[in-house]
A and B are shown apart, each in its own frame.
Chain A
Amino acid sequence: MKVRIKFTKTGPMQYVGHLDLLRYFQKAFRRAGVDIAYSSGYRPHQIVSFASPLGIGLTSEGEYMDAQFVTVDDSQTMIDRLNAVMAEGIRITQFLVLDEKERNAMASVAGADYRVTVRQGYYELVDFSDFCGEFLRQDAIFVTKKTKKGEKDEDIRPYIYEMRGTAEGLYLLLCAGSSHNLKPETVMEAFCAFLHMPYETFGFRIHRLDTYLQDDPDDITTLRPLGAVGHEAKTDHYETKE
C-alpha cells in the first residue's frame, strides 16, 4: 500500500543532503522493523521517494515522502515506532495511507511556504516586511537564471503567490514542483536587489512550513498540504492483500 509520511528536518540534519537523507530513511525503516515493501531482484531496495528535495542549510517542518508498505499498524503506532529510531532533527509528524489512485508526492507538488528570518549579524537595520507590498506591486520581477546554454532572464513574479511581513520575519508562499520550482533564496536575492542591498548568501534563515498540492492547476486557492489527501491507518484495516 502507498503511504505518505510527513517529517521535519531541523538542527544538525539540515546539513545532510537529499541523497544521504534517502539512505538515512532506508536504514531507519530497517531499524524500526516496519513492514516496508522491497523491489525484487538481486539487490532489493525500498520503494521510497521524496516530494520536494530541500536544499542543504534549509530547515523544514513540512517534508513529505511516499513509500510502499506491505502491512501497517495504526498511524500513531507507526509514528511512534519510527520516531523511536530517528536522529535528532527528524520527527515523523504524519503517517497516512493513500488511495492507490493518488498521484505520488513528487508529481503532485505545486507549492511550498517558508518562514524567512534574518540570521544574527546580518541586515541588522533592515525591516524587510515594510517593503513586501512594494516589491510585489512590480509588474515583473526579473532574475537571471543560469541554464546549460548560458544565462537567461526570467520573470518570477507569477510564481510568488504570497509574501508578507510577520512577527518573526517574512512569510513566503511560492510555486514549487517540476514545472516552476521557485527557490526562496531566489526571491530573497531579487528582494535585496530591489532594495539596492547586497545579497548575503548566509543572511537568511529559511524554514519550510509545508509543501502543497493543487487540485485545480489554474486556481491557487485550491492549494492543500500534501498530507491532506491521505487518511489515518487503522490496524485491522490494512492487512496484506495478496
Chain B
Amino acid sequence: MNTLALSHEILMSIEKPARYIGHEINSVRKDPTKVDVRFAMCFPDVYEIGMSHLGIQIIYDMLNRRDDVFCERVYSPWLDLDAIMREKGIPLFALESQTPVKEFDFLGITIQYEMCYTNILQILDLSGIPICAKDRTESDPIVIGGGPCTYNPEPLADFFDLFYIGEGETEYYHLIDLYKKNQRDGGSRKDFLEKAAAVPGMYVPSLYDVLYHPDGTIMEMRPNHPNAPEKVRRQVVVDVTDTFYPEAPVVPYIKATQDRVVLEIQRGCIRGCRFCQAGQVYRPVRERDVEMLKSCAAAMLANTGHEEISLSSLSSSDYSSLKELTYYLIDVCREKRVNISLPSLRIDAFSLDVMSKVQDVRKGSMTFAPEAGSQRMRDVINKGLTEEDILNGAMEAFRGGWQKVKLYFMLGLPGETEEDIRGIAYLSDAIARQYYSIPKEQRNGRCAITASASFFVPKPFTPLQWAPMSDYKTYMDKAHIVNDCMKEQLNRKSIRFQWHDAKTTILEGVLARGDRRLCRVIYDAYRAGCLYDAWTEYFDYDKWMRAFDANGIDISFYTTRKRELDERFPWDFIDIGVTKQFLQREWKRSLAGETTPNCRAQCSGCGASVYGGGVCYESKD
C-alpha cells in the first residue's frame, strides 16, 4: 500500500498512527488533478481536538460540494511525528490525498484560541511554506485565517496573507471564483490579494500600515491600497436555516474529543454577559428552524453511525423550540439507542425532566456557571443569575436525585474585592447547605460540590475590553484566598476547590489584546521550541517571557495597563455590527454595577440590527 504519506516504519514508531492515515468514513475522495482549486483546511492542534470542531466540517462540506474544488484536512502532527518530519525532511501533508500542503492553492487555518499560535507556525514550517507572508512566492498556497481569534488578528498579521472575518458560509465561493479568475487572467499572488481585499469580510494585513503614539498605543491604521477598506465588516449568515450544514460529517477512527453528532441549534446569544466575546461577536441571535434540525439530526445519525448526539449553542435554554426539539430527539434516540448529551441548561422543571430522561441521576452531575461569587460581581459582568436562582436550581436538582454539582467561577474580574472573592466559598457552602436541609432519610449520603476557578481574560469586542488584568502573584493570591475560605466553611468536606495556573491566563491576555508588534515574539517563541502551548504539560512560560524580553516588549503594556475609554484598539478596524459606543456604555454600566436586560427583554441598541435579521427582527408578541 503506497497510498499513505508516511512509511510503515514511521507509522509504527509513533503514537496513534490512525491520526495520519485519512480514509475515514465520509471523507471526500477526489482526483486532485481534476479540480481547479485545492484547499487545505487546518485546525492547528492534534487530530482528536481538530476533528471535534464543527466549523471545519461545515466548510469542508460546503467547499467539496463544488466539483471544481477539493477541500482536504490538516491537523498538527503530534510531537513524536513532528520530530521525525523535521529529521527526515518529510513535508506536512493533507489527509485525503496524503500529498504535501505546499502543493495546495489555499491553506485555511481556523484560529480557535490564542494558545495555538505557535502551532500555526509549526504547520507553515513543516509544510515548507515561509512563515512570514512577505517571503512567500507564487508557488506557495494563499494562507487564510478564520475563527474567533480573527476578531483580533493583529498578533498574527505577519503570518497570514488573508483573514476571513466572520462566518465562513457567506464569502468562500466568491473568494474561490475570484482566485480562479485571477489564475485564468495570469494574475499574481499579489494581484489576487489586492482583489480579495475588496471582498466583504476579507482583511489583507499587508495592505495596512499601523502608526503608533509615543506611548505605544495605536494612532492610526491606514490602508495602503485603494481596495483595502478602512473597516472590515464581519460576515454573518442571516438565514441559518437555508444554508450549508454537513449531513455526513467525517467519522474518525480514533476517539475524538467530540465523538458524536453535533447539532448547532442557533448562533449568537441574547444574554450579553460582559466578559463573553462569543456573546458579542456572534450577534444577533439567529435560530435554526426546528424542522431543519430534526431532519439534519436524523441524516447525521444515519450517515455517521455515531451513538451520541449533542446540541450546541450558547445559552441553549433560549432556543425557542428547545422543548419540541429535545422531546423529539429523546423519542428518536431511544428507538435508535443513541445517547443525548445536553448542553448546559437553565435549571427548571423542563430541564430537570429532560435530564432525568437522558442521564443516570445517581452518576450524573449538574453544572452551574455563576461565574462570580458575589451578586455585586455578577451584576458587574451582567450574568443575569441571582443567588436565589442558583440556590433554587440546586435545590430542584437535589430533590430530583442529583448529588454532584459542578460550579464554574472566574477570578480577577474588574473591581473585584476580597469579599467578592470569598463569595465563591460562601456560595459553594450555601449550595451544600441546601442539600443538607433535605431530611436525612430523603437524601442519599453526602453531596459533592466541585468549584473550579479560572482567571478572567479580557477579550476584544467585549464591554470588558478596557479592563486591566492582574499580575501573576495577585492571581494566585486570589485563588489562595478562596481556598483558605473554603476550609472555613461548614460543609468544607463536601466541597472541592480547584483552580488553574495563571501563567496561561497571562499569555492568553497578552495575545488576545495584542498588536502587530507581537508577531516577532510569537516567531521567536516558536523558534525557541514553544509548541502545543494549550497543553499544560508542554507550555513553557519562561521561554515565552524570554521572547518578550528579547524583543524589548513589556507585557504589562498589554495586561495591567489602564486603557483609556477613547484608546484606539488594534482590532478597531473590524466592524462587528455591535458598536464601540455600545461597548463603552456597557463598560460604564459595568463599573457602576448596573445590569442590562437581554435582547428579548429589551433592545439595548448594540448595533447588530444592521445585519437585518435574527432576534432584532423577531415579532414581539
Please report A residues at the B interface, Cβ cutoff 8 Å: 10-13, 15-17, 20, 23-24, 26-31, 33, 38, 42-45, 56-57, 85, 87-89, 119, 201-202
CB–CB A202/B9 < 8 A: yes
Q: How far is the CA of A172 from the CA of B25 in the complex (A)?
A: 34
Q: How far is the CB of B422 from chain A (nearest CB, A)?
A: 39
CB–CB A11/B3 < 8 A: yes
CB–CB B360/A42 < 8 A: yes
Neighbouring B residues of A23 by C-beta, 8 Å? 253, 255, 259
Residue from A11, A29, A45 whose CB has the most chain B CB atoms within 10 Å: A11
CB–CB A30/B301 < 8 A: yes
CB–CB A28/B305 < 8 A: yes
CB–CB A57/B12 < 8 A: yes
CB–CB A29/B305 < 8 A: yes
The 8 Å CB contact of A87, one of B25, B255, B306, is: B25
The 8 Å CB contact of A15, one of B18, B255, B301, is: B18
Q: How far is the CA of A139 from the CA of B301 in the complex (A)?
A: 58
9 shortest interchain CB distances as A-B pairs: A27-B305, A30-B305, A31-B305, A15-B17, A12-B21, A12-B23, A42-B360, A44-B337, A202-B9
Contact with A along B130-160 (1 / 0, CB 8 A): 0000000000000000000000000000000
The 8 Å CB contact of B251, one of A13, A27, A44, A56, is: A27
CB–CB A20/B339 < 8 A: no
Verify if B359 is at the interface (C-beta below 8 Å from A).
yes
Q: How far is the CA of A42 from the CA of B333 in the complex (A)?
A: 12
The 8 Å CB contact of A20, one of B3, B12, B253, is: B253
Closest chain A residue to B362 by CB distance? Answer: A42
Neighbouring B residues of A42 by C-beta, 8 Å? 359-360
Q: How far is the CB of B310 from chain A (nearest CB, A)?
A: 15
Verify if B1 is at the interface (C-beta below 8 Å from A).
yes
CB–CB A202/B12 < 8 A: yes
Closest chain A residue to B361 by CB distance? Answer: A42
Interface of chain B: mostly helix, strand, loop or mixed:
loop
- Contact A38-B18, Cβ < 8 Å, known A31-B305, A201-B12: no
Neighbouring B residues of A57 by C-beta, 8 Å? 8, 11-12
Q: Can you give 12 A-B contacts (C-beta < 8 A)?
A: A15-B18, A15-B21, A16-B253, A17-B254, A23-B253, A24-B253, A26-B305, A27-B306, A30-B301, A42-B360, A57-B11, A119-B8
Closest chain A residue to B8 by CB distance? Answer: A202
Interface residues of B in 360-375 (CB under 8 A from A): 360
Neighbouring A residues of B339 by C-beta, 8 Å? 43
Q: How far is the CB of A164 from chain B (nearest CB, A)?
A: 25
Verify if B22 is at the interface (C-beta below 8 Å from A).
yes
Q: How far is the CB of B432 from chain A (nearest CB, A)?
A: 27
CB–CB B23/A31 < 8 A: no
Q: How far is the CB of B345 from chain A (nearest CB, A)?
A: 19
Q: How far is the CA of A56 from the CA of B19 in the complex (A)?
A: 13
Verify if B304 is at the interface (C-beta below 8 Å from A).
yes
Q: How far is the CA of A67 from the CA of B167 in the complex (A)?
A: 44
Closest chain B residue to A203 by CB distance? Answer: B9
Neighbouring A residues of B360 by C-beta, 8 Å? 42
Neighbouring A residues of B25 by C-beta, 8 Å? 27-28, 31, 85, 87
Verify if B550 is at the interface (C-beta below 8 Å from A).
no
CB–CB A87/B21 < 8 A: no
Q: How far is the CB of A14 from chain B (nearest CB, A)?
A: 8
Neighbouring B residues of A24 by C-beta, 8 Å? 253
Q: How far is the CA of A45 from the CA of B308 in the complex (A)?
A: 12
Interface residues of B in 311-370 (CB under 8 A from A): 336-337, 339, 359-360
Neighbouring B residues of A85 by C-beta, 8 Å? 25, 305
Please report B residues at the A interface, Cβ cutoff 8 Å: 1, 3-4, 8-9, 11-12, 17-18, 21-25, 251, 253-255, 259, 301-307, 336-337, 339, 359-360
- Contact A30-B307, Cβ < 8 Å, known A12-B22, A56-B17: yes
Q: How far is the CA of A235 from the CA of B4 in the complex (A)?
A: 41
- Contact A31-B302, Cβ < 8 Å, known A23-B255, A43-B339: yes
CB–CB A38/B337 < 8 A: yes
Q: How far is the CA of A17 from the CA of B254 in the complex (A)?
A: 8
Q: How far is the CA of A124 from the CA of B98 in the complex (A)?
A: 29
Neighbouring B residues of A12 by C-beta, 8 Å? 1, 3-4, 21-23
CB–CB B304/A31 < 8 A: yes
Closest chain B residue to A200 by CB distance? Answer: B9
Q: How far is the CA of A10 from the CA of B302 in the complex (A)?
A: 25
Q: How far is the CA of A69 from the CA of B57 in the complex (A)?
A: 33
Q: How far is the CA of A38 from the CA of B307 in the complex (A)?
A: 12
Q: How far is the CB of B146 from chain A (nearest CB, A)?
A: 29
Q: How far is the CA of A29 from the CA of B359 in the complex (A)?
A: 24
Q: How far is the CA of A201 from the CA of B11 in the complex (A)?
A: 13
Q: How far is the CA of A201 from the CA of B10 in the complex (A)?
A: 12
Closest chain B residue to A42 by CB distance? Answer: B360
CB–CB B255/A17 < 8 A: no
CB–CB A87/B305 < 8 A: no
Closest chain A residue to B10 by CB distance? Answer: A202
Q: How far is the CA of A27 from the CA of B307 in the complex (A)?
A: 7
The 8 Å CB contact of A89, one of B12, B23, B259, is: B23
Neighbouring A residues of B22 by C-beta, 8 Å? 12
Neighbouring A residues of B18 by C-beta, 8 Å? 15-17, 20
Q: How far is the CA of A129 from the CA of B254 in the complex (A)?
A: 38
Neighbouring A residues of B12 by C-beta, 8 Å? 56-57, 201-202
Q: How far is the CA of A50 from the CA of B591 in the complex (A)?
A: 63
Neighbouring B residues of A27 by C-beta, 8 Å? 25, 251, 304-307
Q: How far is the CB of B9 from chain A (nearest CB, A)?
A: 5
CB–CB A26/B3 < 8 A: no
Neighbouring B residues of A202 by C-beta, 8 Å? 8-9, 12
- Contact A88-B8, Cβ < 8 Å, known A27-B304, A31-B303: no
- Contact A88-B23, Cβ < 8 Å, known A11-B1, A56-B17: yes
Neighbouring B residues of A26 by C-beta, 8 Å? 305, 307
Neighbouring A residues of B17 by C-beta, 8 Å? 15, 56
Q: How far is the CB of A122 from chain B (nearest CB, A)?
A: 10
Neighbouring A residues of B21 by C-beta, 8 Å? 12, 15-16
Q: How far is the CA of A15 from the CA of B306 in the complex (A)?
A: 21
Neighbouring B residues of A31 by C-beta, 8 Å? 25, 302-305
Q: How far is the CA of A57 from the CA of B7 in the complex (A)?
A: 11
Q: How far is the CA of A88 from the CA of B23 in the complex (A)?
A: 7
Closest chain A residue to B254 by CB distance? Answer: A20
Q: How far is the CA of A91 from the CA of B23 in the complex (A)?
A: 15
Q: How far is the CB of A36 from chain B (nearest CB, A)?
A: 9
Q: How far is the CB of B380 from chain A (nearest CB, A)?
A: 41
Q: How far is the CA of A17 from the CA of B307 in the complex (A)?
A: 20
Neighbouring A residues of B304 by C-beta, 8 Å? 27, 31
Neighbouring B residues of A44 by C-beta, 8 Å? 337
Q: How far is the CA of A153 from the CA of B142 in the complex (A)?
A: 59
Q: How far is the CA of A30 from the CA of B261 in the complex (A)?
A: 13
Neighbouring A residues of B3 by C-beta, 8 Å? 11-12
Given contacts A11-B1, A23-B259, 10 further A-B contacts (CB under 8 A): A11-B23, A12-B1, A12-B4, A20-B255, A27-B25, A27-B304, A30-B306, A85-B305, A87-B24, A202-B9
Neighbouring A residues of B301 by C-beta, 8 Å? 30
Closest chain B residue to A15 by CB distance? Answer: B17
Q: How far is the CB of B78 from chain A (nearest CB, A)?
A: 14
Closest chain A residue to B301 by CB distance? Answer: A30
Q: How far is the CB of B212 from chain A (nearest CB, A)?
A: 52
Q: How far is the CA of A27 from the CA of B301 in the complex (A)?
A: 10
Q: How far is the CB of B88 from chain A (nearest CB, A)?
A: 15
Closest chain B residue to A43 by CB distance? Answer: B339
Q: How far is the CB of B20 from chain A (nearest CB, A)?
A: 8
Q: How far is the CA of A31 from the CA of B249 in the complex (A)?
A: 13
Q: How far is the CB of B12 from chain A (nearest CB, A)?
A: 5
Closest chain B residue to A23 by CB distance? Answer: B255
Q: How far is the CB of A82 from chain B (nearest CB, A)?
A: 12
